Structure formats: C-alpha cells, structure tokens
Structure 1
Amino acid sequence: MNVKDLKLTPEQWVSLLLKYGVPASALTGKATPCPMCSGTDRFTYDNRRGRGDWICRHCDDGNPKAGDGFDLICRFSGITFIELMHELSGGSLDAARNDARTLAHASPAPGVKRKADPAFVEKRLTSMWDRAKPSATGDLLMRYLRTRIPGLTAPAPQALRLGMLEYRHEKKVIGTWPGILARFELPDGRLGTLHRTYLERSAPAKAQIVSADGEILDSKLNDMTLNPLAGGAVRLMDPVDGEIGVAEGLETAYGAHMLSGVPVWNCLNCNLLRQFVVPEGLGIRVVHIFVDFDKVDPKTNKSPGVAAGVELAKRLRAEGYTAIIHRPKLRGTDFADEWVQYAASRSAVHVPPVSHSGAMLAATL
C-alpha cells in the first residue's frame, strides 16, 4: 500500500482517527489537551495539508511534535506504521494468529537455540520478574483478562505480573510493549521459564507485532528456559478441597474456572499438559483436565488437545489420582470460547459459575 496514493476527505480522516481511539475532543481544529502527552491547550488538529495533520507545541520531551494522521494513530495507539498499513490494506492478522495457534499444538514449548549459561538465564529471568509489577485490580493485565473472559471474578494471581517487555526478532530489539509475565514453576517449585503475552500499549488486547519486512510475529512467547519444563505449570490459583484443574493456555484456564468453579493452572500447550506432574505437599487428590477440542489431525486421526488430556488422565489414574477430563461442546473451540458463548447466551457478564461444566469424556478414553 502506497500511503501517498491514499486520499481521504476531512470527514474520512476524522472517522479513521476515531476508529483508532483518538478522542473526538482532540479533532475540533481548536487548541485542546494533547491526546499523547495530556498537556493543556498544546495540541491542534488542523488537517492543513489534507493528511490528517496535527501539531503539539510542547510534547513528551518538551519539544514540538507534528505529523500526519498516520503518525498520530501510531503514536496514540502504540501500533507500528507497518502494522497500520497492513490493517488498512485489508490484511487479516486474526488468520495469521489462528495459524500460529494450530502450529503450537504440534510443537513443543519454544526454547533457546543455544546453550546459555544457567547463571545468566537465572539472572535474566529474576531481573525481569522483579522489575514487573504484581497484578492488581484495574491494571492492564486484569483488564485484558476480563476482556477475554467477560465477568471474570478470579482474584489477581501471584503467578502473573505486568511489565514493559522488549521484543526481539532475529537477535534485534524491534520495540517495547507492555506484557504479562507468567511464572512457570516445576513440581518442586523451581522456576522453569517466564511466558510472555505482549499487549497493546493503550488497549486490553494482544499486541499486533509486525517485523520491518512485514512478518507477523507471535504475541505469545516463552523466554529463556532455566530448567526443563516437563511437569510444570503456571499456578494461577490455590487448590481447593484437594482439587486442581489444568488447561493449555491462560485464557482457557480462566474460562474453565468460570464454567466449573475449579481452580485451574496453565500448562502453556498440549505437550506440556500431557507431561503435567502433581506437586507434592499441596494435598491434591483430584485433577480436572480441561482439554482443547481441536480439529482432528489427519496424520494421527486424533484431536491433539483431547489426545494429550487422555494420555495425562491415564498416567494420573495409574499414580492413584482421580483424573476427570472435560472438553468443550463444539469441535474447534476451547473453554475460553465456551465461556464467552455461555456468557453471551445469558446476556450478562457477571454469570454465576456452572459447577463442572463442559462435556465430560468417558473414563475409558
């Protein structure tokens, strides 16, 4: 897309800016508070050249700033210029993310390509965790979770923190985004890794990150691995009455919790779900396994998420635990999808949890 060829009427520029969240009060043509630095009467949107033009006379670092409408959208919303051009060209970021999710079921949790010094990895992860802020009611982390899981009533988890995170691509830092750090612990309590979910800077949504050459990058990544991940999970909630649940992802875990009332942990993906080990000393006797109801893999003739859950259930039962498998009603969905559908059907976001909801698979599977 060549932006020089894009011609918008004054009304179309205003409509486009509003679409990306620029407040209407800043687009009157008069001196107003700056939507970026909030300075009083510093900002004027004048569309002087017909390009959505604006000026802030004392922005951010104390110097004047000016630009066109595209620059205003990028500065205000936090998306990159390439991302904006991709969206305006009609590119489907959702389709790319769905493809990435499908591949994640068939691949183990990402790890480092080179053998890093354990002391360096521990220092990096500990420093990143310590700099991040504990989750709190109303912060971007909790607003993101409540956007994805409407009506979420779970308390702010100690296993999640909110930080400003660098994004590296091809060994170079391409930007910094706010992000959720999820502490992945092994059964003995040692740190395995920190999982990162990058968020938009000004909205409770996953970040849309595009490289300089237009490659759509994953907004969810593991950091460096300190200890092998097999057996671990992100412990989002404390066990209740000897029961715990496990699921493949963060949003899926919270969706399963809202539907069942069971405290649920996040195993990150189906390969780590099948390897989950019940920690000792927590009194856990019952494990609910909330599987993703994936489409059937033509190579194995199995649903990857369901197959992983069945494998885990068989092992846990052999070890003396009660293992109960739950799956969503519709193929191609997970428990985050099911909760959203359930909440919408009740026409309310604050819906009481449904005890042990979801279709239960037969114990012989």
Structure 2
Amino acid sequence: MKTAEAAKGRWTEILEHYGLPPVTGKNHYKGECPVCGARGKFRIDDRDGAGTWICVCGCGDGMKLLSLTQKEKTFSVLCAEVDRLIGNDYRHEKIPVNSSAAKLRQRTISKFSKLLPLRGTNGEGYLRQRGINKLPTEAIRFCEKQRHAGRIYHALYALATDDKGELCYLHRTLLDGESKAPLGESAKRQKSLQEENYLEYARSVAIRMFPVTSTLGIAEGIETSLSCYQIYSVNT
C-alpha cells in the first residue's frame, strides 16, 4: 500500500516520532508553526485521518508537512521512514515492457500500418449496404484475410485510443463478402491492448474516425457513428 494511504489514522504516532505538534482538531496549537514559526496560527485537524493541517503559511496533508519540516530528507526517504514506523510493506511494481499486452500492441500497430484503406474494398461495400456513403478518414482499415474458427474472413480493423493518444483496444468486424459474417455477437470482436491497470483509468477512449474540430459527435458503434456523421455533418 502506498505510504499516504497506509498512514491514514496513524498520524498521532508519526507526528510524535518527528517531534511535531500533536493533532489539535478545531483548536489552534498554542506554540509555533513548525513551518513558518507563527504562534497560535497552526492547527492539525487530521481530516479523514490524513494528518491535514492549516496555517497562515499554507495547508496540506501529513506527508506535505513532513516534506516542509524535514527538508534535509528527500520525499522517498521520508516515505521509507514512515513505512518502517507503521509497518507498511510497499513495493512499486512496474509493468514489464515485454508484457503480453505490449507485444500484442506492437503487432497490432505493425499489421494496421500494412492494411488497405476502405475505399474500393468489401469493407466499403459493407458500409454502403448499411446506407453509409461517407467513409471514415482515420482509425479504420480493411483486412483481406482474418482467420477465425478455422475459416478466413475479411475484417474491418478499428483502433480505439484514449485522450493521450495511447492505443487501448483493437475492434474487429468480421465480414463475409460485403455482409457481416453470420457469427452473431462473435462477428464483432475486441482485444485489449493495454494492461488492465492502465485501462481502468484511461479516459475518453474512442475510435477517432475523423480529425478534431470545434464540434464533436459521440455515438456508440462504428455504423451508428458514420450514419450520424452523414446526416449531421459533424465529425463523430
């Protein structure tokens, strides 16, 4: 557990360990502020057990107070000291660069770069059968050979990215000629291209089919989005 989380509810002993004023609640500490030296202006209300404090010179949580009063120590050293004091065993685990998601992401990027634009393919024919005549300019391409359950299909490849431009998902629509493959829900398949702990906090994940403009349309589903773009002339 991270130090700030583990320290919640433990600030009475942490403050005492560092020789800092005790928790005073709504009352002001009668002595000097350990940060600026002002007398009678400092208090530690310890809201939510986070060691929160306030003074005329500023405010913050317990870890910030330690940083301001133990300036000879780096933040990482302070965290290690607090961890030892309260018995917190925290190890930061980095996602290996050769994780399965990273490998799949690289393979997807490599393959997508070699795929065909939609125009003149069965992918265009499929969309036209759905009444869509205006094709996306970005993020979707046509795959001539997509293996699934022992058969070879055509497919639409669509890339979903987040607000940082990071690739998050590969969305594939399997086609049989110019029609959706008769596979029920299996005709549309999605693969995660990031680790779960990244996807959990990814924001604004979408298939960005057109350039950014002042007005943006949002819809669920590729076909629905393209239909909206065709009707309202708003990049969707």
Deviation, 1:219, is: 0.3
**Kindly tell me: are residues 254 and 156 of structure 1, through their superposed partners in 2, closer, same or farther at Cα, counting changes over 3 Å?**
closer
**Kindly tell me: are residues 132 and 239 of structure 1, through their superposed partners in 2, closer, same or farther at Cα, counting changes over 3 Å?**
same
Matching of residue 253 in structure 1 with residue 229 in structure 2: no
Counterpart of 1:193 in structure 2 is 169
- Residues 92-146 of structure 1: CA deviation (Å, up to 9, x unaligned): xxxxxxxxxxxxxxxxxxxxxxxx523322223223313322222x211111111
Deviation, 1:149, is: 2.1
Deviation, 1:220, is: 0.3
Counterpart of 2:67 in structure 1 is none
Matching of residue 131 in structure 1 with residue 96 in structure 2: no
Structure 1, unmatched stretches of 5+, are 1-115, 168-172, 210-215, 265-365
Matching of residue 166 in structure 1 with residue 115 in structure 2: no
Counterpart of 2:39 in structure 1 is none
Matching of residue 223 in structure 1 with residue 185 in structure 2: no
- Residues 300-321 of structure 1: CA deviation (Å, up to 9, x unaligned): xxxxxxxxxxxxxxxxxxxxxx
Choose from 103, 116, 124 the match for 1:142.
124
Counterpart of 1:49 in structure 2 is none
The answer as to whether partners of 1:149 and 1:251 remain within 8 angstroms in 2 is no
Counterpart of 2:210 in structure 1 is 237
Deviating above 3 A after TM superposition, structure 1's stretches of 4 or more consecutive aligned residues are none
Distance of 1:128 and 1:180 partners within structure 2: 13
- The letter of the residue matching 2:189 is L
Give the TM-score normalised by the residue count of structure 1.
0.34
Counterpart of 1:207 in structure 2 is 181
Q: Report the 3-state secondary structure (helix = DSSP H, G, I; strand = E; otherwise coil) of the residue aligned with 2:179.
A: coil
Distance of 1:257 and 1:232 partners within structure 2: 19
**Kindly tell me: are residues 260 and 155 of structure 1, through their superposed partners in 2, closer, same or farther at Cα, counting changes over 3 Å?**
same
Q: Report the 3-state secondary structure (helix = DSSP H, G, I; strand = E; otherwise coil) of the residue aligned with 2:228.
A: helix
Percent of residue pairs bearing the same amino acid type: 23
The answer as to whether partners of 1:135 and 1:158 remain within 8 angstroms in 2 is no
Deviation, 1:257, is: 1.3
Matching of residue 121 in structure 1 with residue 130 in structure 2: no
Counterpart of 1:182 in structure 2 is 158
Distance of 1:223 and 1:207 partners within structure 2: 18
- The letter of the residue matching 1:166 is R
Q: Report the 3-state secondary structure (helix = DSSP H, G, I; strand = E; otherwise coil) of the residue aligned with 2:173.
A: strand
Aligned residues: 132
Distance of 1:134 and 1:260 partners within structure 2: 24
Distance of 2:147 and 2:203 partners within structure 1: 26
Larger-gyration structure (1/2): 2
Counterpart of 2:234 in structure 1 is 262
Q: Report the 3-state secondary structure (helix = DSSP H, G, I; strand = E; otherwise coil) of the residue aligned with 1:234.
A: coil
The answer as to whether partners of 2:172 and 2:189 remain within 8 angstroms in 1 is yes
Mapping of 1:1-365 within 5 angstroms? 117-136=100-119, 138-150=120-132, 152=133, 154-163=134-143, 164-167=145-148, 173-200=149-176, 202=177, 204-209=178-183, 218-226=186-194, 228=199, 230-240=203-213, 242-264=214-236
The answer as to whether partners of 1:183 and 1:195 remain within 8 angstroms in 2 is yes
Distance of 1:146 and 1:222 partners within structure 2: 23
- Residues 60-112 of structure 1: CA deviation (Å, up to 9, x unaligned): xxxxxxxxxxxxxxxxxxxxxxxxxxxxxxxxxxxxxxxxxxxxxxxxxxxxx
- Residues 277-309 of structure 1: CA deviation (Å, up to 9, x unaligned): xxxxxxxxxxxxxxxxxxxxxxxxxxxxxxxxx
Give the TM-score normalised by the residue count of structure 2.
0.51
Q: Report the 3-state secondary structure (helix = DSSP H, G, I; strand = E; otherwise coil) of the residue aligned with 1:247.
A: coil
